[in-house]
Amino acid sequence: MKGDFKAIFGDSLEPNADDEILELAKKANNQPVKPKIYTACGSDDHLQKFNVRFSHEMKKLDFGFTYEEWTGDHDWYFFNEALKKALERSL
């Protein structure tokens, strides 16, 4: 993925620990207004273990955080279903 981001943003792109999603969530955790965060991952997704680890860390914080997992892979079929569920939750 780093190569994809460099293709988009250029070779001078350097990772910044302050921009990591978990670090941003920790900073926001102390704020009076926090976003509600919904995440979903397919049980057959190659990134599933990372999503589970992220959800465990997020659940330690005081957020409106939801993680759902069901059968699926890292593809548009799963993404479309997850987007539909996220939109239904936001209404």
Query: 28 — alpha (psi -120 to 50), left (phi > 0) or beta?
Result: alpha
Question: Where residue 45 sits, what CATH number does that domain have?
Answer: 3.40.50.1820
Query: Where in the sequence is the domain holding 11, given as residue range(s)?
Result: 2-90
- State how many domains the chain has: 1
pLDDT at position 2 is 67
In tens digits, the chain (91 residues) has pLDDT values of: 667 777 777 777 777 777 888 999 999 998 999 888 999 999 999 999 999 999 999 999 998 899 999 999 999 999 999 999 999 998 7
Structure pTM? 0.78
**What is the Cα–Cα distance from 54 to 58, expressed in whole angstroms?**
6
pLDDT at position 35 is 87
